[in-house]
Amino acid sequence: MTDVDRRAVAAEFGALAADLASLTATLTTTLTDMEARLARLERLFAADEAHEVGERAGSDAQVDVVSSESAAVEERLSSPPEGVVQSTGGRPAVEEPPVEEPPVEEPAVEDVDPGADVAPGADRRVVLEPSPAVDEPAGKGPSVESPPAPAPQISEPEVEVDESRSPGRTAGPAETPPPGSAPVAAFRAIASLPDLPEIRMPDLYPWQLDALEAWHHDGKVGVVEAVTGAGKTRVGLAAMANALIDGRRVVVIAPTQGLVTQWAAQVVEHFPGVRLSTDASRSPGWHVLIDTVHTVAGHDPLWPDEAALLVADEAHRYGAPTFAQALRPSFTQRLGLSATFERGDEGDDILRPFFRDVCFRLGYERALADGLIARFRVAQVGVPLSPPERAEYDAASAGIRRAWYVIAADLGRPTAGLAEIVAHASHLAARNDRRLAGPARTLLAAFSKRSDVLARAAAKVTALELLAPAVSTSGGTIVFTGATASALQAAETLERAGCVSAAVHGEMDQGEREERLELLRTGQTRSISAPRLLDEGVDVPDADLGIILAASKSRRQMIQRLGRVVRRKPDGRSARLVVLYALGTSEDPGVETVPAHLQEIVTHADAAATFALPRQSQEALAFLRG
């Protein structure tokens, strides 16, 4: 071997020795890091097991707490880019206090807009660069080779949801979620998460693209407000796609299990292969979690230091303190969806700091111009009260007038509006004010009595018989009532008139209600009547006639009811809305100023007319035929 060869071999051995030394150092560092991680895991597992023992020991007490808090919540729940902001109602003067009913905000559940009709064209992938408005914690926790927690893969278009499970426990303040099995189990299961499949952006209408861009412009924090039936769910799906592409997990909260099921079906349809869960209290090995607000409020579904997207369907519903615990700071991207976000009560103090404000509004004007909803006609139909009903109504109205002056004087606002007076009366009654609690309770009781008289007016149910020809030729009719008894009477009246009809109400189990709604969807039943249950959360695309027996003073309720029948029809036909009112009462547009929310609807209708039954029954039927 020559000297040159020896020097070459020596150089090669030197390089090899250096590489070996570097590799040894790297392995030493890696082993040290692994030992530290294993030690951390052992501590986490031990804490997890101790917590689970404590949870089992305290579960019975937790059930009682949840029941009482759920009851309390149910009691409590009773500018921007392009869009149209509608005005709200006027304020009455003290000289003649209004005799309209106070807005009753039912714990409503707007249906998920499945957006079955989508804009034609090729797939449009819209990837918006992330610009979170909230400082995000770094990292998602290390990957661990440990036995994964079970995480069922949902791959079929039908998703079964356990409707009988407990709504979940109430957690502590949102800023400090309790140590529980969810974060630790997420740490265990993260290694088992499958690779994310290719995410394709759903087809979007121009307004949905505008809404998504407005939300992105506002730092991916805000509320998209759009009329019912226009397709808000698609905006949520698009935001979800962007989050998944960016490597974020997504949580969707809804008020009911029915909406959870509808959202789950949409995710399975649009994002096949994505790991989906519908139970925040179980395995965290998911890409998308959809669950009720009750459960997410009681179980933090994220692991420590995670930054995720929250899609809040019916965002206006989560202003109650217990529900607000689902609005955690770890959701650094926040999208609220609502037809009417503003609540007008203390719930706004919870929602606005979290969602900030409405970043995009879609009103009837653009929805109609863009062909997003069916065109519609509105008939206001007056019926008389019977003599006993009139006596009850007049007595309640007198009680309202007497108490009104006292409440307005204490408020110090002689021109205060109805909502403000009722809110102040509720406050006085709740605090048991010695001097004013009596008048406050009198006012509230009188309003309640008068609402009851108007809701159960016999002539309204009888009027259905005169309107039966319009029901029999409709693509499907939904009758909105104020009470279960009225719903049953309405169905019986239409049956006697030759229309196959059914009623659904809260005393039925979920399965029976779904069976009857399916009969309406398939055309086997011509009409369905219900007390408030059909205001939201019901998707009957072919229904084109809505009849309101109990007139609503709530803008949200009126918009949701109209939304049940104005979904765009495949054949392009229009929808009809009939609002029955008692003549000579606060419902009568000839006596009282038309509520702003009803005027908003009438303004955008193709045609609107007023009729008195039974005298003008034929004219009313001709108007509804178009």
Query: What single DSSP character describes residue 319?
Result: G
What pLDDT sits at residue 483? 83
What pLDDT sits at residue 570? 86
Angle (CA) 601 116 127, round 5°: 100
What pLDDT sits at residue 349? 87
Q: Which residues neighbour 527 within 8 Å (Cβ) at sequence distance 6 or greater? A: 471, 474, 476, 477, 478, 479, 491, 494, 499, 500, 501, 502, 520
3-class state of residue 224 by DSSP: strand
Q: Where are the beta strands (DSSP E) in 281-350?
A: 288-292, 308-313, 331-338
DSSP 352-416: HHHH-SEEEEE-HHHHHHTT-B--EEEEEEEEPPPHHHHHHHHHHHHHHHHHHHHHHHHHT-TT-
Q: Alpha-carbon distance 490 to 409, whole Å?
A: 42
What pLDDT sits at residue 23? 59
What pLDDT sits at residue 117? 37
Q: Alpha-carbon distance 215 to 221, whole Å?
A: 6
Alpha-carbon torsion, ordered 33, 38, 42, 44, to 10 deg: 60
Parallel, antiparallel or unpaired: strands 545-548 and 477-481: parallel
What pLDDT sits at residue 273? 87
Parallel, antiparallel or unpaired: strands 221-226 and 358-362: parallel
What pLDDT sits at residue 473? 94
Structure tokens at 53: 């023992």
What pLDDT sits at residue 204? 94
Strand order across the beta sheet in which 575-582 lies: 501-503, 527-531, 477-481, 545-548, 575-582, 376-383, 607-612
Q: Alpha-carbon distance 136 to 306, whole Å?
A: 8
Residues of the chain with pLDDT under 70: 1-195, 283, 533-541, 552
Q: pTM above the 0.95 mark?
A: no
User: What is the tens place of the pLDDT at every residue in 105-143?
Assistant: 433 333 333 333 333 333 333 333 333 333 333 333 333
What pLDDT sits at residue 601? 92
Q: Alpha-carbon distance 331 to 324, whole Å?
A: 13
